[in-house]
Amino acid sequence: MKRLILLLAIVFLAAGLRAAAVLPVGEGKFTYKDYPPFADRPVDVHYYIPASGDVRRMPIVFVFEGADRGYTYLLKAWKQEAEKHKFMVFIPHFDLERFPLPDYQEIGVMDDKDHTIRPAEKRTPALVDKIFEYVRQSSGSERKEYMIYGHSAGGQFVQRFMLFHDSPYVEKAVIGSPGWYTFPDASQDFPYGVRNIPYVTPETIRKYLAKPIILQLATGDTIRESYLRKTPEAEAQGCNRYERGNQFYQYLHRIAAEHNWPCNWQKIEEQGIGHHSTGMGRRAVPVMLGDSLRALFIGNSYTQYNRLVRQVQALAASTGHKLSVKLVEHGGWTLKKHAANPETLDAIREGTWDFVILQDQSKAPAREKEWVRENVYKPAHSLDSLRRLYNPKGKTVFYMTWGHDIDTYAEMQQRLAESYLEMTAQLNAWCAPVGIAWKRIRTENPSITLYNDDHSHPSRQGSYLVANVFCSVFFQKPYTGTYYAGLPEEEALYLQRIAQEIVFSNPSLWNIQPTVQPEEVTRRFYPEPEQQYSTPTLGKPLEEGLASLFEINRYLKDLADKHPGKVTLSDIGKTPQGRDIPVLYFGTPNEKKKIRVWIQAGLHGNEPAGPEATCMLVDYLLNTPEGAELLKKISLALVPVANMDGYAMQIRKSGSGYDLNRDQSKLADPVTLLLKKAYKEWNPEIALDIHEFNPFRKEFELLRGTKVATAADVLFLPSGHLNIPAGIRTLSNGLFREEAEKALEANGYHSGFYFTPSVRNDSLYAMKDAKSPQSSSTFQGLTNAVSLFIEIRGIGLGRACFARRAECGFLVSRSLLETAALHSKEVRSGIRKAAKEACSGKSDISVTFQSTRTELPVTFIDLTKNERFTETLLTFDALQLKAELVRKRPKAYILPDTCRMQAEKLRALGIEVEEIGKPFTATVEKYMVTGYKKATKEWEKIYPVTVSTRMIKEKKSFPAGCFIIRLSQKNANLAVTLLEPESVNGFVNFEVFHTELGKELPIYRKN
Ligand SMILES: [Zn+2]
C-alpha cells in the first residue's frame, strides 16, 4: 500500500513537472529537439501568445522566415497582429547552417550530399508537424489544426510543404510571393518539376490541387533584384515574382481542368505593395482567420438581377473576405413599402448585421425634392432607426442606382446622386456610388453595355460592376478578385478597377471616411475663390468627386489639340500598371534664349490639388495673352501626374509600393527612372514640385488639448543642403520663394515654412525643412537648378476646398514662371557661377551636418473653437545647417568594373560617368568601414546603413572596364552627395552599395 502511495506520488509529481513546462504567454522562445530524425538539429521556436483571450481555442499560425532567416522583425510584426486578432504565432528559426537551401526552401526532398530522395519522415515539414504537437501539449491548446504562412523563401517552403507533405494538421496555407516554384509537372526534374520524385503520383497532384491553399501575390513585386533566381528554368516561369506566381496559378488550373479535378486554390493580388514580407504578412491575416462580415440587402429587382448578392459574396471570397448575406426583395418595391413590411423589419431585427443595404425604387429618389423628402427620406430614416436599435455597431449603406431614362439620363443621374448623398449625410450612413461608376463607364468605355435590353435593369456587366462597388465599400482595400461572374477576364478586371477607383478616390464624398475639418471652419477660414474654373475636377458636379485620369488626359489633350504650335503632349513612358505618364512640352530644351523650367505634380498619388493646379496653368499659358507672353521667354516641361498608378487609387505610394519622393537616389522604382530620364533630358534651370500636406496632426493636440490643425494654405520646403551652392539656395529660398509668397498673399492666401511636428519630453517641436532632405527639393538643387518645393494644405480634406487648393498651386507656378521671365539674366548668371564653383573643385564637401535650434512662429486653427491662433515652436532648423564632417573635394571618383549597376544609376541621375577601356594604375584614397550600423526598422523596403570610414592613401591598379566620375561637371554636387559613404542621401546609406564592418568600399577618390 505504502509503495502504491509512493508510486502515485511519483506519478503526480511527474505530472506536476510536466504541467510546469507550460509555455508562458507573451513573447517567448523554446528549443525543440525531441523528434529523433532531427535530434542533431535543434530548432529555436520564437513565439507570441496573446496575454488575454482563450488560449484553448485560439487559432495557431506558423510563420516561416525569408532567405535572410530573420525572425526578429517577423516576430515584431506578427506579434501585433496576434494580439489584435487573438491567435498564437510560432516562428521556427531554421538557421542557415543547419538548414541550408535544400533543407529549407526545397524542404529536404533530396539529400544535398548524395542526391538521394529522402523518406517523408526526414523531410523538414515532418518536423513542423512535431513542433505543432509539442505546442498543443505545452500551451493547453485544444486546436486540432494549424495554419502556415511564408513570404519569399518562406513562401517557397510553404509551396513545397503542401506539395510533398501530407500533414494531418494543416488547415490552411498561404503562400506569399515565392521567387520560383516546383511545378507538379512530370516532364521536368526537381526542383522545377517532379519527374525524378517517384512518390509524386497523379493522385498526389490531385490532392495538392484540392488543398485549401491561397497564393498571395503583390502586383508591385516586379523588380528583378539580386535575390531573384535567374537560372534558365526559373526565368522560364516568368521574369519576376508576380509573373511567375500567375503562370504557376494558371498552370494548376489548367491541369485541374484537363483531368477534371477540383481545384481549391485561390489567388489574391495585393495592390500598392511590392516584395515586402511584413506588409504582405499583415495583409494575409484576415485571409487566414476568415473573419466573416454580415450584410443584409433590402431592395427590388435592381438588387435581385443576375443574383447580385451571390456575386458580391463570391467576389469577396476571391479577394480573401468572408461575407454572409441575406436578401429581402420584391419587384418594383420602394423603401416606403419595405418600411411597412414585417418580413423586412424582422430581417433587420435579426441583428449583428455589419451592413444594411437600402435601395429604393429606381425612379423614386429622382423625383422632385419635396416628394422625395416625404416618400424616400422618411422611410429610409425609419429603416435606419431600426438598424441602429438592433445593430448599433453596423452601418446603413445606400445603394445609389443609375439613371436610365434615355432622354434625360444626365438629369436623372444627377438627382439620384443628390438624393442618395443627402440621405447618406443626414443619417451618417455610407453610400455605395454605383450610379457614379456607371456614368464613368458610359463615358470612358461606351462599348460596354451596362443595361439590360429594357434599358433599365443591369446587364451581367452592370451587375458585376455593382458587386465590385459593394466589395470596395465593404472592405475598403484595393483588390484583384479572381471571380469574374462569367465575363471575359479583361472586361471583368476593367470593371473591378473602375469600381475601386470611384470608391477609393473619394471616400469622404461617400462618407466612408468623413472629412476631418468641421464645415464651420471651412466656411470661416477657407472659402472657395470667386474665380470659376473648368479644369478636370472643378469642371464637374461635386457629387462626382475627383477627376479620373481619363478626364485629366482628355482635358490636356483637348487643349493640346487646339494649340498644336505651342505645346506637344507626349509621355515619358509606362508605369508598372501600364499607364502612360503624360508630359507637356512648351518649346524645346534647345532654345538658347528661353529659360528652361520643369514643373511636376502628383508625385504622391493622394495629393490631387497639384495635378489640378497644373491643368489651370496649361489653360492659362495657352488661352491668355499673358500666358503667350511668358511662353516667349520660357520653355517648360510639365508632368501633371507623376505617380499615375497612385492617383488612380488615391494612395500616396506608387504601383510598386514605393514613396517616389523617397526614391530620389536609390532609384528602386521604374517610375523614378522614367522621371529622372525626362528631367535629365530637359536639363532645367528652374524646377518646381507641387505636393499637399496633412494639416491634421495628432501631435498638435499638445497645444490646447483639443483638435488643432496647421492654418497655412501653402508651406514652402526649400532645401538647406550644404552641397547645393549658396547662390542657388539664395535664389530658391530668397527671390523665387518670396515672389511666390507675395502672389499668394495678394490673393488672400497664407503661407509659411514646412515643418514636421515632433514630440520630445511632452513638448512640441518643429522640425523645419528636414535634416535628411530626401526629396525633390534637394535633388533639384543638387543638379544646380533653382528649386522650389511646395506643400498645399490638402491631405485629409478629400474634395473640400478644392478650388482654393488648386488655385494656390497655380499661383505659385505662375509666379515662378513670371519671376523666371523677369529675372532670367540674374538666374542664368547665378547658375553659371554655381556651376563654375562646383567644377573648380575649390569648395569643400559637406558630408554630414547638424541643424540649428531656432524658433518658428506657426499659425494654427483650433477646430473645436473655430479660431485661429499663433504659437512659437521650438525648432530644429535644417535651413540653417552646420557642417559636421567636411571633406576636400577630389578631382574624380573611381568605381571598379564590378560596379556597373551603380554607374548606371549615376548616369540615370544625369551624372557623366566614363568607362575606361584599359587597365591603369593610380594613387587613390580608399575608404575602410570603421563603424557600421544597420537600421532595425525597415524604410522603403531597405534597412538604411550608417557608416563611418577611415581614408587610406595607396597606389592601386584598376582592370579594364572601371568607371570614372570627373567632378569638373555640372552635376558634381549630386555626385559627391551620392558617393561620400557617410552622406545621408548617399548610395551607401541606401544600400545601393552593400558593405560590412572592416570592409573596403568600392569607391575611390582621385585627387
Ligand atoms: Zn507629397
What confidence score (pLDDT) does residue 291 get? 66
Confidence of residue 18 (pLDDT cuts 50, 70, 90): very low
CA 801 / ligand 1 centre spacing (Å): 18
Same domain, 260 and 405: no
Encoded amino acid at 672, one letter: T
Question: Hey, what's the cell of 574?
Answer: 509606362
What confidence score (pLDDT) does residue 668 get? 93
Please give the average per-residue pLDDT across 179-197, as a whole number: 94
CA 744 / ligand 1 centre spacing (Å): 20
What one-character DSSP code corresponds to residue 67? T
Do 548 and 501 form a contact (C-beta atoms < 8 A)?
A: yes
Do 740 and 814 form a contact (C-beta atoms < 8 A)?
A: no
Mean pLDDT score across all residues of the chain: 92
Out of 859, 880, 901, a domain closes at: 880
Same domain, 410 and 276: no
DSSP assignment of 580-641, as one string? EEEEEEES-TT-TTSEEEEEEE-SSTT-THHHHHHHHHHHHHHHSHHHHHHHHHEEEEEES-
Confidence of residue 65 (pLDDT cuts 50, 70, 90): very high
What are the pLDDT digits (tens) for 76-117? 999 999 998 889 999 999 999 999 999 999 999 998 788 889
Please state, as a whole number, how many other Cβ atoms lie within 10 Å of the Cβ of residue 187.
Answer: 8
What confidence score (pLDDT) does residue 21 get? 58
Cβ-Cβ contacts under 8 Å for 100 (sequence gap 6 or more): 112
CA 429 / ligand 1 centre spacing (Å): 30
Please give the average per-residue pLDDT across 318-347, as a whole number: 91
From the number of C-beta atoms within 10 Å of its C-beta (0-12, 13-18, 19+), residue 746 rates as exposed
What are the pLDDT digits (tens) for 447-480? 999 999 999 999 999 999 999 999 999 999 888 8
Residue 373: inside a domain, yes or no? yes
CA 631 / ligand 1 centre spacing (Å): 28
Q: Locate cell 491575416: which residue? A: 285
Out of 846, 880, 914, a domain closes at: 880
Cα separation, 267 vs 275, in Å, equals 16
What confidence score (pLDDT) does residue 270 get? 80
Same domain, 862 and 918: no
CA 798 / ligand 1 centre spacing (Å): 15
Do 149 and 62 form a contact (C-beta atoms < 8 A)?
A: yes
Q: Where are the beta strands (DSSP E) in 640-774?
A: 686-693, 708-710, 714-716, 751-753, 755-760, 763-768
Same domain, 245 and 211: yes
CATH number assigned to the domain comprising residue 120? 3.40.50.1820
CA 773 / ligand 1 centre spacing (Å): 13
Residue 534: inside a domain, yes or no? no
What confidence score (pLDDT) does residue 260 get? 87
pLDDT > 60? residue 623: yes
**Phi, psi at residue 64, to the nearest 5°?**
-110, 140
CA 473 / ligand 1 centre spacing (Å): 26
Same domain, 281 and 296: no
Same domain, 810 and 766: yes
Closest to 820 measured CA to CA, from 848, 870, 789, 785? 785
Confidence of residue 12 (pLDDT cuts 50, 70, 90): very low
Preceding omega of 896 cis (within 30 degrees of 0): no
CA 692 / ligand 1 centre spacing (Å): 5
With residue 810 as reference, give the H or E element that holds it.
Answer: helix 802-822
Same domain, 261 and 364: no
pLDDT > 70? residue 581: yes
What confidence score (pLDDT) does residue 16 get? 40
Given its phi and psi angles, is residue 85 left (phi above 0), alpha (psi -120 to 50 degrees) or beta?
alpha
> How much of the chain, in percent, has pLDDT values that exceed 90?
79
Q: How does 694-725 read in b/e, with b if 16+ C-beta sit within 10 Å?
A: bbbeeebeebeeebbbbbbbbbbbbbbbbbbb
Judged by DSSP in three states, 173 sits in strand
Q: How does 982-1007 read in b/e, with b if 16+ C-beta sit within 10 Å?
A: bbbbbbbbbbbbebeeeeebbbbbbe
Judged by DSSP in three states, 941 sits in coil
Same domain, 710 and 731: yes
Please give the average per-residue pLDDT across 651-666, as a whole number: 92
Same domain, 132 and 224: yes
CA 221 / ligand 1 centre spacing (Å): 23
Number of domains in the chain: 4
Confidence of residue 796 (pLDDT cuts 50, 70, 90): confident
Confidence of residue 14 (pLDDT cuts 50, 70, 90): very low
pLDDT > 60? residue 8: no
CA 783 / ligand 1 centre spacing (Å): 21
What are the pLDDT digits (tens) for 626-645? 999 999 999 999 999 999 99
Question: Hey, what's the cell of 506?
Answer: 473619394
Question: Hey, what's the cell of 883?
Answer: 557642417
Do 879 and 854 form a contact (C-beta atoms < 8 A)?
A: no
What one-character DSSP code corresponds to residue 7? H
Question: Hey, what's the cell of 453?
Answer: 435590353
Judged by DSSP in three states, 890 sits in coil
CATH number assigned to the domain comprising residue 768? 3.40.630.10
Encoded amino acid at 102, one letter: P
Cα separation, 115 vs 98, in Å, equals 17
Question: Hey, what's the cell of 889?
Answer: 573635394
What confidence score (pLDDT) does residue 978 get? 95
Strand order in the sheet with 322-329: 322-329, 292-299, 355-358, 395-399, 430-432
What confidence score (pLDDT) does residue 842 get? 83
Residue 527: inside a domain, yes or no? no
Please give the average per-residue pLDDT across 600-608, as a whole number: 97
CA 775 / ligand 1 centre spacing (Å): 9
- CA diameter of the chain: 114
In DSSP terms, which residues pair with 751 in a beta bridge?
Answer: 714
HSE of 188 in the Cβ direction (CA atoms, 13 Å)? 14
Please state, as a whole number, how many other Cβ atoms lie within 10 Å of the Cβ of residue 905.
Answer: 21
**Phi, psi at residue 30, to the nearest 5°?**
-140, 160
Please give the average per-residue pLDDT across 210-223, as a whole number: 90
CA 969 / ligand 1 centre spacing (Å): 31
Question: Hey, what's the cell of 94?
Answer: 531554421
What confidence score (pLDDT) does residue 886 get? 95
CATH number assigned to the domain comprising residue 386? 3.40.50.1110
With residue 836 as reference, give the H or E element that holds it.
Answer: helix 824-840
Question: Hey, what's the cell of 390?
Answer: 438592433
Q: Which of 692, 791, 807, 925 is catalytic?
A: 791
Question: Hey, what's the cell of 668?
Answer: 528602386
Residue 486: inside a domain, yes or no? yes
What are the pLDDT digits (tens) for 813-850? 999 999 999 999 999 999 999 888 888 888 899 999 99
CA 607 / ligand 1 centre spacing (Å): 6
What are the pLDDT digits (tens) for 865-924? 999 999 999 999 988 989 999 999 999 999 999 999 999 999 999 999 999 999 999 999
What confidence score (pLDDT) does residue 325 get? 86
CA 641 / ligand 1 centre spacing (Å): 12
In DSSP terms, which residues pair with 146 in a beta bridge?
Answer: 170
Closest to 800 measured CA to CA, from 431, 615, 536, 523? 523
Cα separation, 190 vs 805, in Å, equals 59
Angle ∠(468,474,479) on CA atoms, nearest 5: 55
pLDDT > 70? residue 5: no
Question: Hey, what's the cell of 419?
Answer: 438624393
Strand order in the sheet with 914-916: 914-916, 962-966, 892-895, 1000-1006, 920-934, 945-958
Angle ∠(131,132,137) on CA atoms, nearest 5: 95
Q: Is the dihedral of CA 628, 629, 634, 639 positive or negative?
A: negative
SS3 content of the chain, % helix, strand, coil (to 5): 40, 25, 40
What are the pLDDT digits (tens) for 941-985? 888 999 999 999 999 999 999 999 999 999 999 999 999 999 988
What confidence score (pLDDT) does residue 449 get? 95
Q: Locate cell 490531385: which residue? A: 206
With residue 827 as reference, give the H or E element that holds it.
Answer: helix 824-840
* Domain range for 40: 24-286
- Torsion over CA of 800, 806, 809 and 810, rounded to 10 degrees? -160
CA 279 / ligand 1 centre spacing (Å): 22
Q: Locate cell 528636414: which residue? A: 770
pLDDT > 90? residue 393: no
CA 612 / ligand 1 centre spacing (Å): 14
With residue 279 as reference, give the H or E element that holds it.
Answer: helix 277-289
Residue 365: inside a domain, yes or no? yes
What confidence score (pLDDT) does residue 292 get? 73
pLDDT > 60? residue 771: no
CA 769 / ligand 1 centre spacing (Å): 14
What confidence score (pLDDT) does residue 579 get? 96
Same domain, 87 and 136: yes
The pocket of ion ligand 1, defined by CB under 5 A, consists of 604, 607, 691
Cα separation, 197 vs 692, in Å, equals 58
CA 275 / ligand 1 centre spacing (Å): 23
Same domain, 819 and 778: yes
626 in catalytic set: no
CA 604 / ligand 1 centre spacing (Å): 5
Cα separation, 753 vs 885, in Å, equals 27
What confidence score (pLDDT) does residue 17 get? 41
Cα separation, 102 vs 117, in Å, equals 12
Same domain, 465 and 440: yes
Cα separation, 652 vs 344, in Å, equals 42
CA 608 / ligand 1 centre spacing (Å): 10
Out of 505, 533, 562, a domain closes at: 505
What confidence score (pLDDT) does residue 294 get? 87
CA 155 / ligand 1 centre spacing (Å): 34
CA 556 / ligand 1 centre spacing (Å): 22
Do 74 and 80 form a contact (C-beta atoms < 8 A)?
A: no
Q: Is the dihedral of CA 681, 686, 687, 688 positive or negative?
A: negative
Residue 571: inside a domain, yes or no? yes
Residue 875: inside a domain, yes or no? yes
Cα separation, 92 vs 47, in Å, equals 8
Residue 102: inside a domain, yes or no? yes
DSSP assignment of 381-436, as one string? HHHHHHHHHH-TT-EEEEE------STTHHHHHHHHHHHHHHHHHHTT-EEE-HHH
